[in-house]
Amino acid sequence: MSASQIADVVHDDDSAARLDALTALSQRLLERCRAQGATQAEVACSEDAGLNVDVRMGEVETVESTRDRGIAVTVYFGTRKGSASTADLREDSLAATVDQACAIARFTEDDPAAGLADAALMARPGPEGRFPEFDAWHPWALDADRAVDLALACETAGRDVDARIGNSDGASVSTARALHVYANSHGFVGAERGSHHSIGCALIAGTGERMQRDGWYSVALAADDLEPAKAVGRRAAQRTLARLDPRPVPTGRYPVLFQADVARSLVGHLLGAVSGGALYRRASFLLDSAGTQLFPDWFSIHERPFLARGFQSAAFDAEGVATRESSLVEAGVLQRYILGGYSARRLGLQTTGNAGGVHNLEIAANAGDLDALVRDMGRGLLVTELMGQGVNAVTGDYSRGAAGFWVEGGEIRHAVDGITIAGNLKQMFGSIEAVGADVDPRSHVRTGSILVGAMTVAGTD
């Protein structure tokens, strides 16, 4: 974005003082929990603020300013757990929240896996008593008028690309900032702050039954990392126009190339299958898979929780456990599961510092950019959109609606839509032939396009 479009960091930034206030509040609540007889307790305090603007066909549709806060208290009486929450900071409401959490705990059943994560695993702050922020705090002083101007410029730039773009699903601009404090009776206190900004546009081209829709968006922790608003609109237009005049493809088994932004979903299915909740419920097709070969021997996934401006960078997880760089998959072998304290106890294992999720995954590339992958594939399907939820987490069976492009002779020939791709995730993982260098940076799961050697494609012939 140009300098004239980006405001300086908010000058009246009081986030440090607000974090101090939330920290003090968490300590008062922990004291209340101790006074009620809780053997362990934890408190999470958060404050969020943001601005969201939506426009469509040159008109403003919504302007929404948000401010939210939340206080969550969890207590343990031995292995009995109770939780309560409030958004009211009055002392009587806070006292009632602690009372309610304690009352719930006293009447729940014992759960041997309940409790805080082990004290020895808690993250430790640096010499100054603070945790690193990983360059995540970049509040944007964006008022509603300027946000509307950016959204209108984005949509107009897209609609002006080609006369065939006669309609729009609109453009949006948003900015948000969040403060969070987690504290527990082990003495751990962790304070975090972060910002998040986005610009997006979705356009419609063609007429009648031949209409096609597509879009583009840019997200970043700092406004100066966003793509220019007009560039977002133009890219949305190019993607929409490319989808016009889809043609049928023959049903059969073909290589399938998942473009980077949809390839993330394959990694997401892996994460769901190796998460502690799915495993202890025995609702995963990857039960007892740690230490086994799931992918080709060149394939790896590494967790990088300390990346500057990483979308999920953190020194500690949602339970205060120290995060660490580690491999999830190395040489094709699943190295570990994704566990928080509770799920780890249920499985007889130790937490991996992933309560609340993973922290910045990087999938190593072994190939060139998307054009190179298309050339190497020769003949097959390039998938740019997935529809539906046809994935069985227990068996790994996979069947989803898809749209994209047919590739012949190493070149994109025409658009396709209304097709279905099917397989089994475990077999799909094992038949991955390439991961591209065309990493989509808009997520904490950083992967390039992924080529799967063969899947069933149910065409429209």
Read off the pLDDT of residues 382-432 as tens digits, 9 standing for 90 and up. Answer: 999 999 888 999 999 999 999 999 999 999 999 999 999 999 999 999 999
E strand segments, 335-449: 361-363, 380-387, 397-408, 411-424, 432-435, 445-446
Does the domain formed by 3-241 have CATH 3.30.2290.10?
yes
Predicted local confidence at residue 207, as pLDDT: 86
In the predicted structure, residue 4 carries a pLDDT above the cut 50: no
Predicted local confidence at residue 461, as pLDDT: 57
d(CA 172, CA 61): 10
Q: Which two tokens stand for residue 422?
A: 């099917």
Residues 131-173: tens digit of each pLDDT: 999 999 999 999 999 999 999 999 999 999 999 999 999 999 9
Q: Judge whether 314 and 192 are in contact, CB under 8 Å.
A: yes
Residues 75-105: tens digit of each pLDDT: 999 999 999 999 999 999 999 999 999 999 9
Cα first-last separation, the chain? 45
Residue 408 CB partners (closer than 8 Å, separation 6+): 379
Predicted local confidence at residue 12, as pLDDT: 59
Average pLDDT on 30-54 reads: 97
Residue 84 CB partners (closer than 8 Å, separation 6+): 72, 73, 97, 98, 100, 101, 104
d(CA 382, CA 363): 19
How many separate helices (H) and strands (E) can be counted in the chain? 9, 17
What average pLDDT does the chain have? Answer: 95
Q: Quick count: other Cβ atoms within 10 Å of Cβ 382?
A: 24
Q: Which two tokens stand for residue 437?
A: 């260098």
Q: Which of the two residues, 388 and 57, has the higher pLDDT score?
A: 57
Q: Judge whether 23 and 151 are in contact, CB under 8 Å.
A: no
pLDDT-based confidence at residue 244 (cuts at 50, 70, 90): very high
Query: Can you give the residue ranges of every domain in the chain?
Result: 3-241, 245-265+365-458
In the predicted structure, residue 5 carries a pLDDT above the cut 70: no
CA-wise closest residue to 341 among 327, 321, 357, 323: 321
Average pLDDT on 200-228 reads: 95
In the predicted structure, residue 434 carries a pLDDT above the cut 60: yes
Q: Judge whether 172 and 52 are in contact, CB under 8 Å.
A: yes
What global pTM score does this model have? 0.93
Q: Judge whether 112 and 79 are in contact, CB under 8 Å.
A: yes
Predicted local confidence at residue 8, as pLDDT: 35
